[in-house]
Structure 1
Amino acid sequence: MAGSGNFMGEWKLREEMCEVGRRVYNKGFAAANDGNISYRLSEDRVLCTPTRVSKGFMKPDDLCIVDLDGGQVSGKRKRSSEILLHLTIMKHRPDVKSVVHCHPPHATAFAVAQEPIPKCTMPEFEVFLGEVAITPYETPGGQAFADTVIPYIKDTDTILLANHGTVTAGSDLMDAYFKTEIIDAYCRILLLTKPLGGPKYYNDHKAAELIRLKPGIGVRDVRLELGLENCDLCGNSLFREGYHESFRPEPNAFVPDKLQQAVQQVACAMPASAPASKGEGPEFESMVQAITEQVMRALGGAAAPSSNGSGSYAGSC
């Protein structure tokens, strides 16, 4: 009887994974055979979607079971080619039960543009997702690709995979999937604001109020653990110091107010003769240095390389 109960529990999880697959496909988050979904069945067994099968048309017995090293344990179809990404997340986050990877178009647009997700625009996004990191690009499928999430996954459940898509982690299948819905809906709203002049930002104080609400609904935010006092919550990124010198995403389409103000202040202070330098000579280099220093001061020194050498953020807000 115990064995029968375990079988029925797993079968329900298989049915739920197929339902998540249908939602991913019907939402347009995964074209053709794109995307993959996983669920941690036990300490060393993970249920996952098969490769080269549309997420919209999976059946429960199409799904596979792998061990934590990616070796296939059971299943009539071959496991997802990108399961190593899921397993890497689970190894570094014992609390994560499910992972969803797909290509929601609006969020993926930010990933392809390597545009950081702006904050301080919508309360729902701040409360249910919060900080979102961007990984450097790597060829999908291998361990090198999976390892790109390691510096960030301990502090966020939602990550943009540069030039690729999104990956979201959760306490169950629906939790992981709903985070995908939220990030794509938020990115769509942001893109819709562009013809209207772009988003208007609320301030750090209001952002801190929202972050303090999160423990009450069971949502962790590492910024609470670091302390919110004197933090640049709207203009800075928790993960900025975790980016490498060769990969440091900077805002282009959605520039925080503080950065815009700093650039405007420097532009107003520039000598009238500055354009004549045409990008050459010591005068131009001094001007660039002055702009850089003032912008960095406005961002609280956010662009300084991480001093902890770990590839993760240095612990400042």
Structure 2
Amino acid sequence: VSENEVVCTPTLISKGFMKPEDLCTVDMEGKQTSGRRKRTSEVLLHLAIMKERPEVKSVVHCHPPHATAFGIAREPIPQCILPEVEVFLGEVPIARYDTPGSKNFADTILPFVKKSNVIVLANHGTVSWGETVERAYWWTEVLDAYCRMLILAKSIGRVNYFSQSEAQELLELKAQWGINDPRAEMQNCDICANDVFRESWKSVGVEQKAFLPPHYACSVNGNGKPPGPTSSNGTAPDQEALIQAITDRVMEALKK
């Protein structure tokens, strides 16, 4: 509502039954300035994002079940599966767990807030942001719908990934639309391997177990084109030859 004041929802109330008079306001340090109900205990999380991203006018924190499941499992959300997610979400980080409502909790999102518009909070929920309430909520809606699809597809049997060229085409489409993607600047990464936030995994306890990506090298050879062909299991032909040679030698040794 002003440069130093924001509207927030109160704590301990069903959001579906809120009335306008239930809303309250706080300053940018989290001090409540108006409202009959106590402000949300997690307002510092919202304010931390607004301080880091001044263009952000709305932050949505909630606990969508499917996306939160990935945060509980500490499973990185796979890429190169759904066009809408590739173009609009990109890679979604998982922030480390901390006690909700604390300053330390608010600080958990700081390493990621400038590289994404939605974050999964380990063992907690999600937070997303945008220029409007609708836009901030939309990021969460897209994320949770995607996570539900992943869980359903996995329960059926398997998840199929885009090919290298299909994934690269979507990155180029994002660039044409003016949507930044950190993968576009990474010369020796793997487009589909969740490499953007990999350095944070150890401290958070994130590990790929349920969704193992294919291995495609990114924009390489200096021309943005994919490297030489890979086999159906993701290994390069020379690697396959080496593996076969080792296997042959082992088999020969066993016959003696």
Give TM-score scaled by structure 1 length: 0.66
Whole-angstrom distance in 2 between the partners of 1:74 and 1:231: 49
1:251 to 199, 203, 208: 208
User: Which of these residues, 129, 137, 140, is aligned with residue 180 of structure 1?
Assistant: 140
Aligned residue among 81, 105, 109 for 1:121 = 81
**SS across alignment from 2:15:** coil
- 1:209 counterpart = 2:190: no
Which residues in structure 2 correspond to 1:156-167 (within 5 Å)? 156-167=116-127
1:78 corresponds to 2:38: yes
1:240 corresponds to which residue? Answer: 198
Secondary structure of the equivalent of 1:200?
coil
- In structure 1, distance between residues paired with 2:234 and 2:81: 17
Q: What CA distance in whole angstroms lies between the structure 1 residues aligned with 2:98 and 2:82? A: 31
Whose helix fraction is larger, Structure 1's or Structure 2's? 1
Gaps of 5+ in 1: 1-40, 273-317
Structure 2 unpaired stretches of 5+: 217-232, 251-256
Whole-angstrom CA distance in 2 between matches of 1:61 and 1:220: 39
Distance change (3 Å), C-alpha of 1:142 and 1:192: same
- Alignment RMSD (CA, Å): 2.6
In structure 2, give the amino acid aligned to 1:256.
Answer: P
Q: Aligned to 2:75, what secondary structure does the other structure show?
A: coil
Matched with 1:170 is: 130
- Tell me if structure 1 keeps the 8 A contact 2:183–2:189: no
Q: What amino acid sits opposite 2:23 in the alignment?
A: L
Q: Structure 1 residue aligned with 2:94, among 124, 128, 134?
A: 134
Give, as a single letter, the amino acid of the residue that structure 1 aligns with 2:32: Q
1:54 aligns with 2:31: no
Query: What fraction of aligned residue pairs are identical, expressed as a percent?
Result: 54
Number of residue-to-residue matches in the alignment:
229
| CA deviation vs aligned residue, 1:7-44 (integer Å, no higher than 9, x gap) | xxxxxxxxxxxxxxxxxxxxxxxxxxxxxxxxxx3321
Deviation at 1:241, TM superposition (A): 1.8
Give the distance between the partners of 1:66 and 1:201, measured in 2 at CA. Answer: 45
- Partner Cα separation in structure 2 for residue 73 and residue 220 of structure 1: 37
Distance (whole Å) between structure 2 residues aligned to residue 152 and residue 246 of structure 1: 14
SS where residue 17 of structure 2 aligns? coil
Check the 8 A contact 1:203/1:234 in 2, yes or no: no
Find the counterpart in structure 1 of residue 225 from structure 2: none
Which of 1 and 2 has higher RCO (CA within 8 Å, sep 6+)?
Answer: 2
Aligned twin of 1:222: 182
Q: How big is the shift at 1:203?
A: 2.7
The equivalences for 1:1-317 within 5 A come to 41-214=1-174, 217=177, 219-224=179-184, 226=185, 231-243=189-201, 245-258=202-215, 261=234
Provide, for residues 176-218 of structure 1, a one-character-per-residue CA deviation record: whole Å limited to 9, x for no partner: 1011110010001101111332211113332232123235555
- 8 Å contact kept, 1:107–1:160: yes
**CA distance 1:155–1:191, change in 2 (3 Å):** same
Shift of 1:235: 1.6
Partners in 2 of 1:120 and 1:171 — Cα distance? 27
- Distance change (3 Å), C-alpha of 1:63 and 1:218: farther
- TM-score norm. by structure 2 comes to 0.81
